[in-house]
Amino acid sequence: MTTEELVAQIHKKKSFLCIGLDVDLNKVPKHLLTEEDPIFAFNKVIIDATHHLAVAYKPNTAFYEAYGIKGWKALEKTIQYLNKNHPEIFTIADAKRGDIGNTSSMYAKAFFEDLGFDSVTTAPYMGKDSIEPFLNFKDKHTILLALTSNKGAFDFQTRKIDGKEVYKTVIEISKTWENSQNLMYVVGATKASYLKDIRKLVPNNFLLVPGVGAQGGSLREVCKYGLSSNIGLLINSSRGIIYAGNNKDFAQAARSAAKELQTQMQEILDAL
């Protein structure tokens, strides 16, 4: 998917909501556990109930890998379901990959070619040759961790080296890589005030912003500092939406939670 197609969808739906599909079988409604594939069954109901309110879905691969081959199968069925029924929706494999070049090439093939995701999250620690294999794919997006939502972000990312914070150095150097136009960045909603500085470095790149909802980040704060001329934000909520209810009416509860965020997004977009 091109960035232009993503932006068009945002304007059409008046939403820049990304729904995280982090399926934990201890949290899904009990009646689904008798299904042949309870993970996919859960995702299908959530997608059917929310696709008109969201522009992106983000399965975190950890929640599928934890269930072995059955989990991976459920991930494959989920992305196939999205690509077949909602090809306009942007898909993110939250896998946080990155390795020596030839290994990264295989990760990129796995997520872009085999599974057919539009984007994958990557970790910058191993540098240029670990990320460029992802950037080589046309109309695919590589979402680099810049400033994460967790407390541990302060261990390395905000430390200064040669007078500059590591997350700023990550952004600046990554902009020099080949095909860097295919880069997006992860910035946690819990670090909203940092977005002011981040936007000076990347005025136009899309930012994937997790941390609204269960982690306490504020949608309005993120928008205050993070909106760009092409909107430039995908705001993710996972647990806050998919576990809004846990009995037979869980789909309705998820839709209401998604609607609440989408309504706020619509208000923000209408005020621009």
Ligand X SMILES: O=c1ccn([C@@H]2O[C@H](COP(=O)(O)O)[C@@H](O)[C@H]2O)c(=O)[nH]1
CB 98, CB 124: distance < 8 Å: yes
Number of residues written out for the chain: 272
Closest CB to ligand X among residues 136, 225: 225
Active-site residue, 96 included: yes
Token pair for residue 35? 């299904």
Closest approach of ligand X to the CB of residue 141, in Å: 15
Closest approach of ligand X to the CB of residue 60, in Å: 4
**CA pair distance 109, 148, nearest whole angstrom:** 25
Closest CB to ligand X among residues 20, 38: 20
Q: What are phi and psi of 235, to 5 degrees?
A: -100, 120
**CA pair distance 122, 239, nearest whole angstrom:** 22
**CA pair distance 142, 81, nearest whole angstrom:** 22
DSSP, res 228: B
Binding residues for ligand X, rule: CB under 6 A, are 20, 22, 60, 94, 148-150, 186, 188, 210-211, 213-215, 236-240
Closest CB to ligand X among residues 128, 239: 239
Closest CB to ligand X among residues 2, 94: 94
Closest CB to ligand X among residues 96, 128: 96
CB 143, CB 130: distance < 8 Å: no
**Could you give the 3-state DSSP secondary structure of residue 148?**
coil
Q: Quote the distance between the C-alpha of residue 106 and its chain's center.
A: 21
Closest approach of ligand X to the CB of residue 144, in Å: 11
Catalytic position from the list 14, 96, 109, 259: 96
Closest approach of ligand X to the CB of residue 157, in Å: 10
Closest approach of ligand X to the CB of residue 211, in Å: 5
Token pair for residue 189? 């909603």
Q: What are phi and psi of 22, to 5 degrees?
A: -105, 85
Active-site residue set: 96
